[in-house]
Amino acid sequence: MRYCFKNGKELLEGITLLSADLGIEVAKEGAADITVTVIHTEKRSLTVTLNGNEATIVWGDGKVRFFRGLAILVHWVSSKETYKTVTEKPLFKTNGAMVDMSRDAVMNVKTVKLMLRKMALMGLNTYMLYTEDTYEIKEYPYFGHLRGRYTQKEIRELDRYALTLGIELIPCVQMLGHLSTHLRWDAAGAYRDTSNAMLVGADATYELIDRMLKTIAECFTSRRLHVGMDETHDLGTGRYLEQNGYREREDIYFEHLEKITSMAHSYGFQPMMWSDMFFRLAGKDLPDYTDYDVRVQFSDEVTQKLPAGMQQVFWDYYHQDEDFYAVNLDQHHRFLSKDTLFAGGIWLWSGHCPLYSRSLLRTLPALEACRKKGVDEIFATIWLNGGEGNLLLGLAGLAWYADYDYKGHFDIESVKECFDFSCEGVSYDDMMKLELPEHPDGGMLGLTRSLLYNDPLVSLVDKHLEGLEVREYYRGVSKALESVGEMKQFRSAYDTIVKLALLLEQKTDFGIRLKSAYDRGDTEELRTLRDECDEIIEKLQALRASHRASWMEYYKPFGWEVHDIRYGGLIARFDTAKERLTQYLGGAIDRLEELEEVRLRMDGQLSDDAQPRFHGLFNWMQYQDYATASRL
């Protein structure tokens, strides 16, 4: 379909970038199927009108408003609509995503551009590139060494691309903690306090931070900067303690914060930071403290130490209670910053599959609280924390944020339409099916990580699986996944989840069946299970190959070695299980010591009063927690 645009020359480059996604051609007047009159307004608004082969888009407050309008228009035309109009008034000044490029998986430039285009079509205008050590600082060759770091040239390329689409690419880094992957090197010794945190007060620390700021200033157009500063629980307990003696963590923290705020301002940045440490410091004496505990009471002593000009970011993706968000927003506005940003989350960090349902139940009350409390800036964090999942799948969750923003409320049919016009040809309902492998227990936790890495011989998870009909469940999952339509840009991520479901159908209860047959002395069943090891190995190899293809399509190759090690370890363990069973069945050994052991619960509870269930801990355990009880 050919579109002609009257006015809006500043939009043509962006329209050209988006034309393939929209399936349109840009034509001259008189040679077009649809003529679009473009009108700019100063208001934060969007109006789209279609009348036959004539259309009008009235937009204001950033180019993404227009691009969303164009996506809506193209969707109408492709749906054979002839007359339709809509007016939208966005709630938020800024709305978008913070994408984790530091937990092994670093999106390649092509994938970031793809995500930027889809976000522009949704009308989202901010993209935070979360990079701990995954950006190039030329004076520090070990910073991001072999981690897939972005070169300065790549960041500049992404910055220009984002601006063309009306999206602000915002650097999101760390200037105190969360730097373990860099601090591991001896080259970082001069500014290392602990394995996670930099050494406050050291000249070398501020020399590095100055290079960070200089590099960021040269690569990004935006003068907004997220400096991190979260979860520095071990601050002052390493080399700092040895050099300076004991000091209150609060004093060390504020000393450093004052310094980096001043440095950021000297480079012309408007800095922001995660706000959790202020709550943790103020609530340090509360029993069973949790992040953003509503019991926290701020004292003037704490709030007076907060440097001027540091915007606060309130993050949470754990609560379903709107009051929790409302209370914490009030706390932020009263004590920390009246222009607080809110950061929610789209859960991709618990395994191979997205946890859309868990995310949505926490997103809606948060957005409601933000609307009622007058928050003007929001974004969704898309963490990975281990790297099995696919960051691009976060786009389905971003449709919630975009549609709520433009509609002022949540409506699932409207969300589906938003996803459809931004990711044309892919069904929102099909995307939701990608979550199914995570929930064989009928709950909302992500379980694929525990089920995949659970060892065949020292099966740590098995006690929690007793009584679950996992084979029947995963047969149903495989059937549901077979029914999805065209997945387009999500195809290889989808294929990996299909292979995972096929594997889990056979692997999940393998250890239970093995232990039961051994305890019964059922040699015929043990022979069957021995032969089944080869079938599971074949499915593991298929999953690995699919996951590798997906990784290489979307990400830089660095970090994949972790998954080769994990899959390779699983394949080796099933090979060992086969060998051990062969020796036992052949009489070479008289017992299998691994199967002599009683299976216990992973939560450490010894009571047999109730069936062991999966619990919140399973969302955070990593590969090594499920693979072995020994040190890895």
240 lies in the same domain as 277: yes
Calculate mean pLDDT across residues 313-334: 97
Confidence of residue 604 (pLDDT cuts 50, 70, 90): confident
Contact 343, 308 (CB under 8 A): no
Say whether pLDDT at 608 is over 70. Answer: no
Contact 354, 394 (CB under 8 A): yes
378 lies in the same domain as 451: no
Collapsing DSSP to helix, strand or coil, 570 comes out as: helix
DSSP 7-66: S-GGGHHHHHHHHHHHT-EE--TTS-SEEEEEEEESSS-EEEEEETTEEEEEEESSHHHH
At residue 605, the pLDDT reads 84
127/135 Cα distance (integer angstroms): 16
618 lies in the same domain as 554: yes
Say whether pLDDT at 65 is over 90. Answer: yes
For residue 113, report the phi and psi dihedrals to the nearest 5 degrees: -65, -40
Name the pairing type of β-strands 341-345 and 2-6: unpaired
**Could you say which DSSP state residue 333 is in?**
I
**Could you say which DSSP state residue 598 is in?**
P
Tokens of 411: 């409506």
Say whether pLDDT at 621 is over 90. Answer: no
409/245 Cα distance (integer angstroms): 53
Of 25, 55, 88, the residue that ends a domain is: 88
Instruction: Express as a percent the part of the chain with pLDDT over 70.
Output: 100
Evaluate the CA torsion angle 178, 239, 299, 301 in order and state its sign.
negative
**454-494: pLDDT as tens digits:** 999 999 999 999 889 999 999 999 999 999 999 999 999 99
pTM for this entry: 0.97
As a dihedral over the C-alpha atoms of residue 614, residue 616, residue 622, residue 624, rounded to 10 degrees, the angle is: -50
Contact 573, 456 (CB under 8 A): yes
Number of CB atoms found within 10 A of residue 569's CB: 16
Say whether pLDDT at 588 is over 80. Answer: yes
Evaluate the CA torsion angle 96, 102, 103, 109 in order and state its sign.
positive
Say whether pLDDT at 300 is over 90. Answer: no
Identify any residues that bridge with 539 across adjacent strands, giving them in sequence order: none
List of residues 6+ apart from 491 with CB closer than 8 A: none
Of 40, 56, 88, the residue that ends a domain is: 88
CATH code, domain with 40: 3.30.160.230
Q: Is residue 632, in this structure, part of any structural domain at all? A: no
At residue 609, the pLDDT reads 67
380 lies in the same domain as 307: yes
**537-554: pLDDT as tens digits:** 999 999 999 999 999 999
Amino acid 295 reads R
Amino acid 171 reads P
Contact 107, 114 (CB under 8 A): no
DSSP H stretches of helix in 184-314: 203-219, 239-244, 249-266, 276-282, 300-303
Q: Which residue shows structure tokens 């090690």?
A: 565
CA proximity to 182, closest of 199, 163, 167, 197: 197
Kindly provide the residue ranges of all beta strands, DSSP E only, lying in 264-346, ordered along the sequence. 270-274, 311-315, 341-345
CATH code, domain with 255: 3.20.20.80
Kindly provide the residue ranges of all beta strands, DSSP E only, lying in 401-499, ordered along the sequence. none
At residue 387, the pLDDT reads 77
54 lies in the same domain as 124: no
Q: Is residue 133, in this structure, part of any structural domain at all? A: yes
Q: Is residue 69, in this structure, part of any structural domain at all? A: yes
Contact 2, 28 (CB under 8 A): no
Query: How many domains does one find in the chain?
Result: 3
Say whether pLDDT at 577 is over 90. Answer: yes
Say whether pLDDT at 520 is over 70. Answer: yes
Residue 400 belongs to what domain range? Answer: 94-424
Angle at 504 between CA 502 and CA 509, to 5 degrees: 135
Tokens of 484: 């999805």
Q: Is residue 340, in this structure, part of any structural domain at all? A: yes
Evaluate the CA torsion angle 172, 176, 179, 182 in order and state its sign.
positive
Phi-psi region of 217 (alpha: psi -120 to 50; beta: other; left: phi over 0): alpha
At residue 484, the pLDDT reads 95
76 lies in the same domain as 110: no
Of 394, 424, 454, the residue that ends a domain is: 424
385 lies in the same domain as 519: no
Say whether pLDDT at 404 is over 90. Answer: yes
Q: Which residue shows structure tokens 């003007």?
A: 376
At residue 270, the pLDDT reads 98
Q: What is the mean pLDDT of the chain?
A: 96
Calculate mean pLDDT across residues 625-629: 95
Contact 147, 134 (CB under 8 A): yes
124 lies in the same domain as 216: yes
16 lies in the same domain as 101: no
Phi-psi region of 346 (alpha: psi -120 to 50; beta: other; left: phi over 0): beta
CATH code, domain with 520: 1.20.120.670
Say whether pLDDT at 610 is over 80. Answer: no
Q: How many residues does the chain have?
A: 632
Contact 91, 378 (CB under 8 A): no
**414-453: pLDDT as tens digits:** 999 999 999 999 999 999 999 999 999 999 999 999 999 9
Tokens of 417: 């339409």
Q: How many Å is the maximal CA-CA distance in the chain? A: 87
185 lies in the same domain as 120: yes
List of residues 6+ apart from 561 with CB closer than 8 A: none
579 lies in the same domain as 565: yes
Contact 200, 256 (CB under 8 A): yes
373 lies in the same domain as 475: no
Identify any residues that bridge with 314 across adjacent strands, giving them in sequence order: 342
Measured in whole angstroms, the distance separating CA 52 from the mean position of its chain's CA atoms is 42
